[in-house]
Structure 1
Amino acid sequence: MPEGDVLLRVARRLSLALGERPLVRGELRWPSLAGHDLTGLRSVGTVSYGKHLLTRLDDGRTLHTHLRMDGSWQVRHTADPPEPLRRPNVRAVLGTDQWTCVGLQLGMMDLVRTRDESSLLRQLGPDLMADEPDFERAVINLRAAPERPIGEALLDQSVAAGIGTIYLAETLWAHRVNPWRAVSGVNRPRELFETAHRLMRRSADGPSLTATGDTRAGHTTHVHGREGRGCRRCRTLIVVAPIGVEPMTRPAYYCPTCQPD
């Protein structure tokens, strides 16, 4: 599932592509929204909240989408004549006379009044991709389950929104914290959220996605995806194990030496 840095980049790209120009295509291929045609409306920008995208329209409504595991938004030049885009995985088509944004395999879609956006997000913790996240609220949410493994808690979007398996691994490695350490055993938990925010925003704001600041192939993570390779700090082989409760387990990469039990 894409993480907060990816979603912020997608939101910025949709905002630039739609650019407050009138939609010449506004198709929502979603069962509950099949009767809605957004043609003629204008986008007034797309923002991300954690892993959610909110495309705001000039009629006071917001199109909410979520990529889940397999979704994506593709941006291409608007064709003349228009492309049919009849493939079954096309879930939304938002196009101006210049650019067309195609939502593929989207996992969630809602159309709500912009003033009611909060109703879609009320189950989420603070957005770690925000300019100034509410770190104190994230810590309060985290401490509500003191015996929970810290890695599992960081993946819980109701604690804080935006972290996935990449920034779970990279954040805990940076702080030498084992993913299975109980929340109650983590000193200065606010610093974990601050690090995750800093890493994700750097990645979102940079020329390409990277958790390390290094954009070279093979150097974009310290531990994530590096099972069986040497830790960049101590050369111990990186390992991976499932974390969480079935069926929601996710892979957690870590260094057994730098992040002991």
Structure 2
Amino acid sequence: MPEGDTVWNTARVLQRALAGARLTGSDFRVPQLAATDLTGWTVRESASRGKHLLLRLESPPGATTPGPPSAADRPPSGPDSGTRWTLHSHLRMDGAWRAYAPGERWAARPAHLIRVVLRSPHAVAVGYHLHDLALVPTAAEDQLVGHLGPDLLGPDWDPAEAVRRLAAHPDTTIGEALLDQRNLAGIGNLYKCEVLFLRGMSPWTPVRAVADLAGTVNLAQKLLAANRGRWTQSTTGSLHRGQTSYVYGRRAQPCRRCGTAIRKEELGERVTYWCPVCQPERPG
């Protein structure tokens, strides 16, 4: 699942493949960037912010760069003004970036899902089914990610701030609150379900009734951090197929603690998995 740890891993893949390289070609297959050519641009770094990918670039001197839609959106004046740009993408549920050696077959996804290709002398980065693809001045990144809460895998991680943001909406269910990226950035449905199981908490518990919000966000951070650097996400400690989660994706299977059948139900706009015994059901 492309949650915070997957996006972090993807950013590292692009960093190893492209950082410091001058692009020898680009191919955008989305209408808003179809005429954009990044040939000659240098990749400065690849970073993640919650579930967002930020590929930071520098245009060569004198290059024609895509202008922001209005003067109000232009970066501040200075020596780097108009030369540093960020290619922003969001993986959502089905997006992916893959890095290939020059001449290697692109076999990750069907070709019709390709949204962008970036070529360098030593690697080719291919973005499949990317969402919210945009090229903006690096100084204006906050317009895209400034609303996010503390990043569980980022240098800005601040558990106290995450708790403050969660507590500011006491009537929201904890299941929905953990998925709200404005509270804390990086948790997706998998980690939401697993954290709540491990805390013995029903997903329908209102935030005001959560006795230890700090313990909840700290556990979420530990789970995501434990999965950095690998593609198999596990909350149980096992990497064997079918043994990596406690409740997520296990509807009707026995709970690993008590043996009760795991349940699945919609919560907000997402499904949730939980054990009705280990996580007592909501009243009524």
Structure 1 length-normalised TM: 0.91
Determine the C-alpha separation between the residues in 1 that align with 2:229 and 2:155: 12
Classify the secondary structure of the residue corresponding to 1:138: helix
Aligned partner of 1:243 in structure 2 is 267
User: Given the superposition, is the C-alpha separation of residues 11 and 88 from structure 1 closer, same or farther in structure 2, using an over 3 Å criterion?
Assistant: same
Determine the C-alpha separation between the residues in 2 that align with 1:165 and 1:31: 31
For residues 146-165 of structure 1, the aligned pairs below 5 Å read: 146-165=170-189
Work out the number of aligned pairs and report it: 256
Q: 1:186 Cα deviation (Å)?
A: 0.1
Q: Is the aligned partner of 1:256 residue 2:276?
A: yes
Q: Is the aligned partner of 1:72 residue 2:96?
A: yes
Which of 193, 197, 216 in structure 2 is aligned with 1:169? 193
Classify the secondary structure of the residue corresponding to 2:86: strand
Q: Which moved more, 1:195-204 or 1:72-81?
A: 72-81
- Structure 2 unmatched ranges of 5 or more: 60-83
Q: Does structure 2 retain, via aligned residues, the 8 Å contact 1:202–1:213?
A: no
Aligned partner of 1:219 in structure 2 is 243
Determine the C-alpha separation between the residues in 2 that align with 1:131 and 1:116: 19
Q: Does structure 1 retain, via aligned residues, the 8 Å contact 2:28–2:34?
A: yes
Classify the secondary structure of the residue corresponding to 2:240: coil
Q: Is the aligned partner of 1:118 residue 2:142?
A: yes
**Percent of aligned positions with the same letter in both sequences?**
40
User: Given the superposition, is the C-alpha separation of residues 225 and 70 from structure 1 closer, same or farther in structure 2, using an over 3 Å criterion?
Assistant: same
For residues 86-97 of structure 1, the aligned pairs below 5 Å read: 87-97=111-121
Determine the C-alpha separation between the residues in 2 that align with 1:21 and 1:81: 21
Q: Does structure 1 retain, via aligned residues, the 8 Å contact 2:247–2:274?
A: yes
Q: Does structure 2 retain, via aligned residues, the 8 Å contact 1:28–1:93?
A: yes
Determine the C-alpha separation between the residues in 2 that align with 1:50 and 1:185: 26
- Structure 1 unmatched ranges of 5 or more: none
Q: 1:33 Cα deviation (Å)?
A: 2.0
Determine the C-alpha separation between the residues in 1 that align with 2:220 and 2:270: 18
Q: 1:151 Cα deviation (Å)?
A: 0.2
Q: 1:86 Cα deviation (Å)?
A: 10
Q: 1:166 Cα deviation (Å)?
A: 0.4
1:100-135 per-residue CA deviation (whole Å, 9 max, x = no partner) reads 111111111111121221121122211112256111
Q: 1:136 Cα deviation (Å)?
A: 1.6
Determine the C-alpha separation between the residues in 2 that align with 1:19 and 1:121: 22
Q: Does structure 1 retain, via aligned residues, the 8 Å contact 2:150–2:156?
A: no
Classify the secondary structure of the residue corresponding to 1:53: strand
Determine the C-alpha separation between the residues in 2 that align with 1:202 and 1:184: 28
Q: Does structure 2 retain, via aligned residues, the 8 Å contact 1:199–1:212?
A: no
Residue identity opposite 2:43 in structure 1: S
Classify the secondary structure of the residue corresponding to 1:210: coil
Q: Which moved more, 1:62-71 or 1:203-212?
A: 203-212
Q: Does structure 1 retain, via aligned residues, the 8 Å contact 2:55–2:88?
A: yes
Q: 1:158 Cα deviation (Å)?
A: 1.3
User: Given the superposition, is the C-alpha separation of residues 86 and 227 from structure 1 closer, same or farther in structure 2, using an over 3 Å criterion?
Assistant: closer
User: Given the superposition, is the C-alpha separation of residues 86 and 210 from structure 1 closer, same or farther in structure 2, using an over 3 Å criterion?
Assistant: closer
Q: Does structure 2 retain, via aligned residues, the 8 Å contact 1:151–1:179?
A: yes
Determine the C-alpha separation between the residues in 2 that align with 1:88 and 1:206: 27
User: Given the superposition, is the C-alpha separation of residues 131 and 208 from structure 1 closer, same or farther in structure 2, using an over 3 Å criterion?
Assistant: farther
Q: Which moved more, 1:1-10 or 1:208-217?
A: 208-217
Q: 1:68 Cα deviation (Å)?
A: 2.1
C-alpha root-mean-square deviation of aligned residues, in Å?
2.2
Q: Which moved more, 1:161-170 or 1:35-44?
A: 35-44
User: Given the superposition, is the C-alpha separation of residues 112 and 231 from structure 1 closer, same or farther in structure 2, using an over 3 Å criterion?
Assistant: same
